[in-house]
A and B are shown apart, each in its own frame.
Chain A
Amino acid sequence: MPALSLIGMDIPTPHIEYGLLMPFLMVVVAACLGVLVEALAPRPLRHSLQLLVAFLGIILALFVTILNWAGGDKAIIALGALSIDGPTYFLWTVLLVFAGVSFLIFAERRLEGNASAFTPSAAAVPGSTGEQEAIEARFEHTEVYPLAMFALSGMMLFPAANDLIMMFVGLEILSLPLYLLCGLARRRRLLSQESAMKYFLLGSLSSAIFVYGMALLYGFAGSFDLSAISDSLQSSTQKDGLLLAGMTLVGVGLLFKVGAVPFHSWTPDVYQGAPTPITGFMATCTKIAAFGALLRLFYVALGGLRWDWQPVMLVVALVTMFVGSVVGIAQTDLKRLLAYSSIGHAGFILVAVTAASQTGNGKPADSLSSVSSALFYLVAYSVATIGAFAIITMVRLRGGESTSLASWAGLGRRSPVTAAVFSLFMLSFAGIPLTGGFIGKWSVFAAGWAGGQQWLVVAAVVISLIAAVIYLRVIVTMFFTEPKADAPVAEVARPGWTTLVAVGFGVVATIVLGVYPGPVLDLAASAGEFLR
């Protein structure tokens, strides 16, 4: 190869560690099989076949992940493209579990009268005869399962990427299917399509910004490898404009995905417009994956520059917590309210990110590292979020979901159990003791304190008190408010067993994480350091 020898490089034969990569490959294979089912299986069989393929893929991948994790293999694999270390194992396990629970909510068919929550024909114009025919023919878009599986594979790739190219590819694989899934709601299709367009335009804008930042970082370091970027930080004597600009742009791309202020404006619109099962999937899994990638990029590649990014991250964390909590108070739509709540929670996790309390940075010996506390917070936040969105699918008015807070007035008298369970999730969001949310808040604040960000932690505690107002308002509405005489009143419909299992999982996990958090905290603590 004369052209290559001229440049003086040879390309080594890639050596791929298939054993460690297996969970990811299984999810991809399951997604591809899902596409084949869509093409080959007769229509009546598709839904059950898709469920079978998706759950088989997830359970096998989960099994192999846990097996590998227990085996203790940690390595940077595929020529430095992926890093399979403690945080990766933890995040993969958590992602697969929450994707599985989300799929249980996707599988709900009883609430819509033996049909799924997704539109029968996405191509038909809302309100047209084409749509009516599709509804009457009982068509269904079972493509949601392979699409969500592809998104899941991107989510697994994103936080494991040890290379900026891989990180970008993961980001796109997780985003593209989600843009489509947002537009597939069965009811309120105009809102759903609008949310898909907004998410698509803002999402691709943020990934374009990420790519330009990636190009600038490559210009600085001469490599896409995260550890190589870290090495060139050590060796360069002066601060390079390319480096600072690249770090900013890449950071913007990632902060957009975690929904941090000032890049949060898509979150309320998309969470409100998307079909509720998809919102649950996005609110949990996307956030988990994006925080994993954010932590890896800023700790592994840009850790040497933390004196430069910590002040900025501090301001972002403060503003994110504040906006999420204060604007959330004024919301009248529950899905929108939960979107602002998720923005606020992103701010609390950013407290731990800002602190950068890792072993290499002088972390006190017996404290939780920033990564461990963020991992635990993500789990505690996700169990309550997925349960809350599952309950939102059950509270209905005239056949459709009823998300306006006013229609939930007095729900505690009509359906005490459902309202009590929803209140439990709200209390967990607020960080009341004996729920997972409390331990999560405690762990990120402890990591922030250990990392020397005492003032930020004090501010975060004050803001978490303000945020509690949002959740208490929901509880007061459900239990202590009479519905207005002329206002529509939402009722709880009886869902199928899959949704009930998802809610049950949320309840049990929220209480267990609050009362007996030891095992999960230990797991997170053991997964607290990135492999460099």
Chain B
Amino acid sequence: MDPQAYIVMSAILFSIALLGVMIRRNVLIVFMCIELMLNASNLALVTFSRMHGSLDGQIAAFFVMVVAAAEVVVGLAIIVTIYRTRRSASVDDANLLKF
């Protein structure tokens, strides 16, 4: 199968996720969309790795996965703390800081 298709696929996934980050109001959904962006990047990395015939891209995908896992730990900790305080997981409710 043409590897180009995978690149297009990853671009579509990335765009959907970016759109999700911008329009969804629930912190968890926003966070999932960010993870989806990282996964779209992984798909692109692995496909390019295949196209160039080098392993670098696949190694990079491992790095991205590990970092994504670390980000989940930190992110969920922050989200749970906010939820316990406010009883709400909406980004619109967290609006004390403003000009």
A interface residues with partner B (beta carbon < 8 Å): 7-9, 11, 122-123, 125-126, 164-165, 168-169, 172, 176, 179-180, 183, 189-191, 193-198, 200-201, 204-205, 208-209, 211-212, 214-216, 218-219, 222-224, 268-269, 272-273, 330-331, 336
The residue in chain B whose Cβ has the minimal distance to the Cβ of A206 is B34
Neighbouring B residues of A164 by C-beta, 8 Å: 60
* Chain A proximity of B48: nearest CB distance (Å): 4
Cβ of A199 to closest chain B Cβ, rounded Å: 9
Flag whether B79 is at the interface (Cβ < 8 A): yes
A-B contact pairs, 29 of them (CB 8 A): A8-B53, A125-B85, A168-B64, A169-B67, A172-B71, A183-B81, A190-B96, A191-B97, A193-B82, A193-B85, A194-B96, A196-B78, A197-B27, A197-B91, A198-B97, A200-B74, A205-B34, A208-B38, A208-B41, A209-B37, A211-B37, A211-B64, A212-B14, A212-B40, A212-B44, A214-B60, A219-B52, A223-B56, A268-B97
A218 CA / B51 CA spacing, docked (Å): 11
Per the bound structure, the CA–CA distance linking A195 and B97 in Å amounts to 8
Q: Do the beta carbons of A268 and B59 come within 8 Å of each other?
A: no
Q: In the complex, what distance in Å separates the CA atom of A330 from the CA atom of B98?
A: 13
Q: How far is the CB of B88 from chain A (nearest CB, A)?
A: 12
B70 at the interface (CB under 8 A from A): yes
A197 contacts B55, C-beta separation under 8 Å: no
Quick check: A205 and B63 within 8 Å, CB to CB?
no
Chain B residues whose CB sits within 8 angstroms of the CB of A179 once the complex forms: 74-75, 78
Q: Which A residues touch B17, using CB under 8 A? A: 208
Instruction: Determine the chain B residues whose CB is within 8 A of the CB of A215 once the complex forms.
Output: 10, 41, 44-45, 48, 57, 60
Given A189-B85, A212-B14, 11 more pairs with CB closer than 8 A: A7-B53, A11-B55, A180-B74, A183-B78, A190-B96, A196-B78, A205-B21, A211-B37, A211-B38, A218-B48, A273-B97
Q: How far, in angstroms, from A395 to B86 measured CA to CA in the complex?
A: 30
Give CA–CA (A242, B59) in the complex, Å: 20
Interface residues on chain B, number (Cβ under 8 Å): 49
B positions within 8 Å CB-CB of A: 7, 10, 14, 17-18, 21, 27, 30-31, 34, 37-38, 40-41, 44-45, 48-49, 51-57, 59-60, 63-64, 67, 70-71, 74-75, 77-79, 81-82, 84-86, 91, 94-99
Report the number of A-B residue pairs with Cβ-Cβ less than 8 Å.
132
Docked pose: A211 CA to B10 CA in angstroms: 12
The 9 A-B residue pairs with the shortest CB-CB distance, nearest first, are A208-B37, A215-B44, A219-B48, A222-B52, A211-B41, A269-B97, A194-B94, A212-B41, A215-B45
The minimal Cβ–Cβ distance linking B60 to chain A, given in whole angstroms, is: 5
Q: Judging by beta carbons under 8 Å apart, are A200 and B37 in contact?
A: no
Contact assessment for B34 and A218 in the assembled complex, using a CB-CB cutoff below 8 Å = no
Q: Enumerate chain B residues within 8 angstroms of A214, measured Cβ to Cβ.
A: 41, 60
**CA of A168 to CA of B51, assembled, Å:** 22
Q: Report chain B residues within 8 Å CB of A191.
A: 96-97
Minimum CB–CB distance for A175 against chain B, Å:
9
> Once the chains are docked, how many angstroms separate the CA of A222 from the CA of B10?
18
Q: Please state if B37 and A216 are interface contacts (CB–CB under 8 Å).
A: no
Residue of B at shortest CB range from A9?
Answer: B55
A180, B77: Cβ atoms closer than 8 Å:
yes
Which among A122, A172, A198, A223 is the interface contact of B70 at CB below 8 angstroms? A172
CB distance from A309 to the nearest CB of B (A): 22
- A180-B74, A180-B78, A191-B97 are contacts. A201–B85 as well, Cβ < 8 Å? no
**Which residues from A are CB-within-8-Å of B99?**
268, 330-331, 336
A194: B residues at CB distance < 8 A: 82, 94-97
Contacts A169-B67, A336-B99 given; indicate if A201 touches B41 (C-beta within 8 A): no
